């Protein structure tokens, strides 16, 4: 059970990092363009 919970929490963290990167990369590129 603990192993399953660990795997699912790892997947959630990876999805969160992916979502954050998808959110911030366009903002970063736009800021690079404008500044």
- How does pLDDT run across 1-35, given as a tens digit for each residue? 455 566 677 787 888 888 888 888 888 888 887 76
The tokens describing 8, both together, are 């699912």
Q: How far is CA 24 from CA 3, 7, 31, in A?
A: 31, 26, 10
The tokens describing 11, both together, are 């997947």
Phi, psi at 23, each rounded to 5°: -75, -40
């Amino acid at each position: 059970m603990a192993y399953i919970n660990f795997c699912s929490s790892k997947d959630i963290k990876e999805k969160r990092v992916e979502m954050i990167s998808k959110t911030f990369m366009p903002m970063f590129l736009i800021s690079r363009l404008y500044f």
